[in-house]
Amino acid sequence: MVDFKQNYFQRRTRDKGPRSNNRITSPEVQVITSDGENLGTLSTNEAIRKAKDEGLDLIEIAPNANPPVCKIMDMGKYKYDAQKKANKAKKKQKKIELKEIKLRPVTEVHDYKFKLKNAQKFLSKGDKVKFTIKFKGRELQHSHLGNELMDKIKLDMQKIGKVELHPKFDGKQMIMVIQPL
């Protein structure tokens, strides 16, 4: 009984990648040799036999074509090349991060300039910057100070970034997001 349960609950994994050799379901396929020569439309069994004669595999390249296009090549090499291509594409991808700069409505001028310089550095690297103004206690009654500070930030960041999320209240804090131009 234990043996049955193990098989019953075991996940069935689908094969990843293109179909090859006997997994090709179409009765006829268009065959391209390992040299890149087009052999035309052949029956699937005949195409598999030609691939086996060369010591290679028949791999389905374009399954949605009519008839499906298959190429005679080594399956291991094909998977290796596909993985290399995927890794190369992943390397070129730029991941945009969201950097946060926290302020208070009573932030002094020097601290403000210092944080603004950091924000400009983040934007020049291509990251988004989230400005957060935290209000404590009675500061919440003077929300106009936060609005003024956000307007000043918008004005100072105008040259290198544009506002993605306009200033809004979120509980006891005010939030604004700026993205690079």
Domain containing 142 equals 98-180
Per-residue pLDDT of the chain (181 residues; tens, 9 = 90+): 455 555 666 666 666 778 888 888 888 999 998 888 888 888 888 989 988 988 888 888 888 888 899 999 988 888 898 899 989 988 887 777 899 999 999 889 999 999 999 999 999 998 999 999 999 988 888 888 889 999 999 999 889 899 998 999 888 999 999 999 8
Q: Residue 169: which CATH number?
A: 3.30.110.10
Does the pTM surpass 0.85? The reply is: no
**Which of 69, 89, 109 lies at the terminal end of a domain, its last residue?**
89
Is 59 in the same domain as 109?
A: no
Q: Last residue of some domain: 89, 108, 129?
A: 89
Task: Based on the fold, state whether residues 17 and 72 are members of the same structural domain.
Answer: yes
Of 56, 89, 122, the one marking the end of a domain is 89
List the end-to-end C-alpha distance of the chain, in Å, as a whole number. Answer: 65
Q: How many domains, the chain?
A: 2
Q: How many CA atoms lie within 13 A of 128 on its CB side?
A: 14
Q: What is the CATH number of the domain that holds 6?
A: 3.10.20.80
Tell me, yes or no, whether 27 and 62 share the same domain.
yes
Same domain, 102 and 85: no
SS (H, E, C) the chain: CHHHHHHHHCCCCCCCCCCEHHHCCCCEEEEECCCCCEEEEEEHHHHHHHHHHHCCEEEEEECCCCCCEEEEECHHHHHHHHHHHHHHHHHHCCCCCEEEEEECCCCCHHHHHHHHHHHHHHHHHCCEEEEEEECCHHHHHHHHHHHHHHHHHHHHCCCCEEEEEEEEEECCEEEEEEEEC
